[in-house]
Amino acid sequence: MKIRLHDKDFVPYLSETEIDKAVTSIADQINKNFQDKKPLFLAVLNGSFMFTSDLMKKIEIDCELSFVKLASYHGTQSSGEIKELIGLSDNIYNRHVIILEDIVDTGTTLGHLMEVLKTHDTASISIATLLLKPDVFKKKYPLHFVGMEIPNKFVVGYGLDYNESGRNLKAIYQLEE
């Protein structure tokens, strides 16, 4: 079913079932790779809140969760403009940090977060993203866990917004051509 947010129409793209499969595959890999490492998940707000919640329910190893905020996106185009990192108050020294992102587009946002994290003495830094747009990703750093690769089209739902609307949608929708 088509939905309208602000001035644009969106069509169904990824179902709840498809999303769940992608989340499960990321959780399985983390459960395997980080056993006895007590990873610290660092979820990037706002977009990753729903992915984070569903992923955490599938994590069966000892872990911690913290949230940071770093917005750089306006409308349907990646602005490239960087804002400040808020919320990195926990001690990440010597911790296995796993960044949780909803989507990696050009990778600019995450690149900035990585620069900040690299100045801390972490044990390791990994990235888990539900979605990746490989055609636009500038590949400045490795992405360890990718739920699904998608074409370079604007998507909303499951935490992702179009001008703050659509985050509550259970499925993911694509901008109608």
Binding flag, residue 129, ligand XMP (CB under 6 A): no
Question: Is residue 154 a contact partner of residue 138, using CB atoms and an 8 Å limit?
Answer: no
**Smallest separation (angstroms) from ligand XMP to the CB of 82:** 9
- Is 54 annotated in the active site? no
Binding flag, residue 13, ligand XMP (CB under 6 A): no
Binding flag, residue 157, Mg ion (CB under 5 A): no
Q: How many CA atoms lie within 13 A of 8 on its CB side?
A: 17
Output the CA–CA distances (angstroms, integers) from residue 62 to 31, 39, 42, 56, in the order listed.
9, 8, 15, 11
Catalytic residue among 105, 121, 135, 161: 105
Going by their DSSP bridges, the two strands 145-149 and 3-5 should be labelled as unpaired
**Smallest separation (angstroms) from Mg ion to the CB of 130:** 10
Output the CA–CA distances (angstroms, integers) from residue 86 to 45, 78, 176, in the order listed.
10, 20, 34
* Interatomic CA distance for residues 38 and 171, integer angstroms: 31
Q: Which residues contact 65 (CB under 8 A, 6 or more apart)?
A: 40, 41, 43, 52, 56
* Interatomic CA distance for residues 14 and 75, integer angstroms: 21
Tell which positions 97-116 bind Mg ion, by CB under 5 A: 102
Which of 18-26, 29-37, 39-47, 137-145 is the region at the interface with Mg ion (rule: CB under 5 A)? 39-47
Tell which positions 97-126 bind ligand XMP, by CB under 6 A: 101-110
Which of 49-57, 58-66, 96-104, 116-124 is the region at the interface with ligand XMP (rule: CB under 6 A)? 96-104
**Smallest separation (angstroms) from ligand XMP to the CB of 23:** 17
How many residues contact Mg ion, by CB under 5 A? 2
**Residues found near ligand XMP in the complex (CB under 6 A):** 47, 72-73, 78, 101-110, 154-156, 160-161
The site for Mg ion (CB under 5 A) is made up of 47, 102
Active site residues: 105
